[in-house]
A and B are shown apart, each in its own frame.
Chain A
Amino acid sequence: MTTTPDVVPTGNRADEIQIYDLHKNFGDLAVLKGISTVVRRGEVVCVIGPSGSGKSTLLRCVNLLEEPTSGRIFILNEEITDPDADVDFIRTQMGMVFQQFNLFPHLTVLENCTIGQTQVKKIPRSVAEENARANLAKVGLADRTASYPAQLSGGQQQRVAIARALSMDVEMILFDEPTSALDPELVGDVLGVMRDLADEGMTMMVVTHEMAFAREVADRVIFMDGGVIVEEGHPDQVIGSPREERTRTFLQRVLDPTHASPAPQAGGGDRSQPPAAG
């Protein structure tokens, strides 16, 4: 079950995200308690788990929006946790899509997609705009380049956020619950764009509650609980026939909300005292 390689780091650029024994504490609260995993080029990894299990924190540690307490993370063979690392450069190869979109409200849709290119990568404006338009067309928003984010629906804003990440010509994208803030009827558009990206071979790490999406699109599913990886593997296995009791309890609750009330009692005991996985 463990995916930790024998040699650390692997030295293989195709092992795009390498996480080794990652710990993160907020004060006295241990949120991540030894996470290790490797995400390979073109792989789509969905991270699922109950609220507060540390999914967002894991994702935010990967691009160093949160400083890990201990452990090492390698992005494209460069250690981002190295104190001497050029974190800003490493981040240009790795997009992030947030639950709340976080578009820049004072910039147009087009400018949202060019500012990183022109300011950070010093790409000429005309080239950057061409690139931005191509990516906006890809997410189905070619006609909204002159709009401001406030003039768009949530689903459109999130697609602009994806285009903004793509415009940096990234190797991989981290998604933190990209559809959780959307009205139900807008979720499909965003998931559709993400499915297209997956088909094109984009490396993706997706924190999500959309089990159908995870099952259909993911190459691997990671189930987290209490700051550890409880179970990981092919979606058909983890979601279809989970080995661990905690995974079963969680999936029961997520897939069939009518069972929500009896489930916490069943899972309550082992949640407070998580058994060491692996």
Chain B
Amino acid sequence: MSSTATVAPRVTRAKISPRKRARRIRLVQYAVLIALVVLMIATVDGRQVQSVFFRPDLIVLTLQGVPHALFNTLAYTLGAFVVGLVLGTILALMRLSQVAPYRWLASIYIEFFRGVPALIVLLSFGLLSVAFPGLRFPFDPYGTVWAALGMVSAAYMAETIRAGIQAVPKGQVEAARSLGMPAGMATRKIVLPQAFRIITPPLTNELILLTKDSSLVYVLGLTTAAFELTKFGRELSNSNVNLTPLVVAGFCYLIITLPLTFLVRRMEARQQKAR
């Protein structure tokens, strides 16, 4: 160690030490930040900001309708998630099937629904009952949304679930089969429970995305009773020519998504530790 220090010629050393340099850069960053805050306080009219984004009477008004809208958002999201989970599992098993046509069908489905905007799928499902007058989804409009968003998210989940199934060691199936379990039972009782444990974090991420995607249902032309957070906030914002209801709606999404994000982080950290 000491030999390398003596070998290095003194002239090549920087004029200031790297540590001092880093401190100087940090100071500049703080200075810029303070300048920006001062500029904002000087130029932005606080009272106007409050009256546009956080008007108290509108917050109260919005909050009265929030429980119902929040319920609808959750209903659309969870229903679609369940449809996506079931369909995604079937697609994942098809992707891993010994029967080639099953693999092809699953691939076509997955590539199609991952490549097409969810909005178009939703619009198409909304028009289905117009095109086929006899056709009605159960629990309309919930059934329509569950089917449309569920079919889209199934395409994403299928790939995740397939990766999870493949991450289960082959010896698990062999142990199950050697106990006399038929192939289907080994998949249901041994492989899938382990696969879903592995992929819980990415599936929770999918649930977060789906929560936000549920806002797309506004294109279906819903009745007031079926409004979810976004549509509900937007209607109130339009009628009051004020952004407060939308801001409140936005915070409501955070109430759902932030805990889920936190949960995913914890699960990922724990899986990292278990490795």
CB distance from B169 to the nearest CB of A (A): 8
Q: Does A195 contact B (CB under 8 A)?
A: no
Q: A105-B194, A106-B197 are in contact. Are A91 and B175 (CB under 8 A)?
A: no
How many residues of B are in contact with the other chain, CB < 8 A? 18
Q: Does B171 contact A (CB under 8 A)?
A: yes
CB distance from A137 to the nearest CB of B (A): 20
Report the bound CA distance from A100 to B175 in whole Å: 10
Q: List the count of A-B residue pairs having beta carbons below 8 Å apart.
A: 55
Q: Does A65 contact B (CB under 8 A)?
A: yes
Q: Does B193 contact A (CB under 8 A)?
A: yes
Which of A115-123, A218-226, A270-278 lines the interface with chain B? A115-123
Q: Does B128 contact A (CB under 8 A)?
A: no
Report the bound CA distance from A151 to B117 in whole Å: 47
8 Å CB contacts to A: which residues of B197-213?
197
8 Å CB contacts to A: which residues of B149-199?
169, 171-172, 174-182, 185, 189-190, 193-194, 197
The size bracket of the interface on A is 20 to 34
User: Could you say which residues of chain B place their CB within 8 Å of the CB of A119?
Assistant: 181, 185, 189
Q: A104-B172, A106-B197 are in contact. Are A115 and B189 (CB under 8 A)?
A: yes
Pick from A96, A106, A120, A168: contact of B193, CB below 8 A: A106
Q: Does A103 contact B (CB under 8 A)?
A: yes
Q: A106-B193, A106-B197, A119-B189 are in contact. Are A88 and B174 (CB under 8 A)?
A: no
Q: Contact: B172 with A95, CB < 8 Å? A: no
Q: Does A63 contact B (CB under 8 A)?
A: yes
Hey, which bits of chain B sit against chain A, CB under 8 A? Answer: 169, 171-172, 174-182, 185, 189-190, 193-194, 197
Hey, which bits of chain A sit against chain B, CB under 8 A? Answer: 63, 65, 88-89, 91-92, 94-96, 98, 100, 102-106, 115-116, 119-121, 164, 168
Known: A105-B194, A116-B180, A119-B181. 6 other contacts (CB 8 A): A91-B177, A98-B174, A104-B175, A106-B194, A115-B189, A168-B179
